[in-house]
């Protein structure tokens, strides 16, 4: 995939993810009775259930709320118009595409 296509594809998938997610300014608050199972794979090979680490993960989830989708997608699209593509944008796009369906 060429760099421009990589950046545009990542931007499209990021926006699609945001569209499936409740919009707004996310903040940490109370807990729900149910939550999805998310497991963190740590550098030492161990794992930790994210629900057990919510004091650390709650801020991360809130910081990367859907409110950031539009500015990040805009950055990726802007980077796609430059030759050569911004290496940081391409690295971000590759990492994002590896995690998005």
pLDDT digits (tens, 9 = 90+) for 43-66: 888 877 666 666 666 766 777 788
Residues counted in the chain: 101
Contact 51, 35 (CB under 8 A): yes
Provide CB contacts within 8 A for 100, sequence distance 6+: 10, 13, 14, 16, 17
What is the average per-residue pLDDT within 25-41? 61
Q: Is residue 7 predicted with pLDDT exceeding 80?
A: yes
pLDDT at position 72 is 92
Query: What is the model's pLDDT at position 89?
Result: 93
Share of the chain above pLDDT 70, in %: 69
H or E segment to which residue 39 belongs: strand 39-41
Nearest CA among 79, 74, 70, 95 for reference residue 3: 79
The residue ranges of every structural domain in the chain are: 3-22+39-99
Tokens at 6, concatenated? 């990589």
């Amino acid at each position: 995939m060429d760099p421009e296509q990589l950046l545009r594809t990542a931007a499209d998938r990021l926006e699609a993810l945001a569209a499936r997610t409740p919009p707004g300014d996310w903040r940490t608050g109370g807990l729900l009775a149910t939550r999805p199972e998310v497991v963190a794979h740590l550098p030492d090979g161990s794992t930790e259930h994210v629900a057990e680490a919510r004091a650390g993960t709650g801020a991360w989830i809130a910081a990367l709320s859907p409110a950031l989708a539009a500015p990040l997608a805009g950055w990726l699209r802007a980077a796609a118009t430059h030759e050569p593509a911004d290496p940081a944008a391409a690295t971000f796009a590759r990492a994002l595409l590896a995690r998005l369906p």
